[in-house]
Amino acid sequence: MPVPDVATSLAPLTTLRLGGPARRLVDAASAAAVVEAVRVADAAGEPVLLLGGGSNVVIADEGWPGTVVRVASRGRDVERRPDGSVVLTAEAGEDWDGVVAATVAEGLGGLECLSGIPGRTGATPVQNVGAYGVEIADLLLDVDLYDRGTGVVRDHVPAAELGLAYRTSTLKGRDDAIVLRVRYLLPGDGASAPIRYPELARALGVEPGERVAAAAARDAVLGLRRGKGMVLDAADHDTWSVGSFFTNPVLPEPDAPAEAPRWPAGPGRVKVPAAWLIEHAGFRRGRRGPGGRVALSGRHVLALTHRGDGTTSDLLILAREVRDGVRHAFGVELVPEPVLVGCVL
């Protein structure tokens, strides 16, 4: 496989439009090509960075000193089971929202609440992607992985082995297990997952717990996300972000601010909205960072946005201000949701 030895800017390959150059960039158009590119780099002693849609990554201004393998594999398959359920198989490089849109168009429900989330399908189990009351953990059947340590492709690794939890898994932060293919188990009808999220239930005019047509739920989710600047638009700097920069803290109930909204998160624990903590620590929508080059979104304080001509360092300065402000106001430590590459918060 030819590997160009020419530095390539990574900024245009990320939704933040930030990040320095990679020494080498390889586009891998199939699972086999992903494996081969990684094997070649490993044999050469090159550091490897896997990149999908660039929607959940913050890359240092210095860039990446080795090979970036951009996962561009394509392909979907639907298998209907005798019990009426459906197994959806998708290659890791498939655009995630494209997968969701296709299932809805084919009359399948289950994924519609995850509409509008940018990135590639292979990232969904790594991050245990979730939104509007649905998580990948609710739907994931298994994955195919390339184990760099053994050089073996492991097929049908069950979801139960992946340690799926709130916005994380045993795959997150690792570079030795690469997702090649993902399978989801869907109910097989055209109805949505139960509408659990109050904001979405209000938008649909239903009670929490009801199911609606998957297409109606998708339209409502996309409307809500657009209102928060969470649907990518190259002309709108409010969408130049990684989505929610911080996860919602899960705390022992006594440690949660008394006045803060909360949701149950297991025995003795509650989840507190990071957006509420940020706003009540004194940060407002549109707050600017260094030189005005980065800012909190004008529509959603959880999104840190790039306004143009900025740097990753600019973004991290603003992120630290927010994190430290919340810590000072409430004693709560905010944790970044995206993967930080070559940089720290």
Alpha helices (H) in the chain, listed in sequence order: 31-43, 96-105, 123-127, 198-204, 214-227, 274-280, 312-330
Task: Compute CA distances 58 → 10, 18, 196, 238, whole Å.
Answer: 10, 7, 31, 16
Rounded to whole angstroms, how far apart are CA atoms 59 and 61?
7
- Catalytic center residues: 167, 244, 337
Within 10 A of 126 (CB to CB), how many other CB atoms are there? 27
Contact 24, 67 (CB under 8 A): yes
Rounded to whole angstroms, how far apart are CA atoms 240 and 145?
30
Going by C-beta distance under 8 Å and a sequence separation of 6 or more, which residues neighbour residue 344? Answer: none
Indicate the residue type of 246. F
- The CA dihedral of 299, 305, 306, 307, to the nearest 10 degrees, is 20
State which H helix or E strand residue 120 sits in.
none
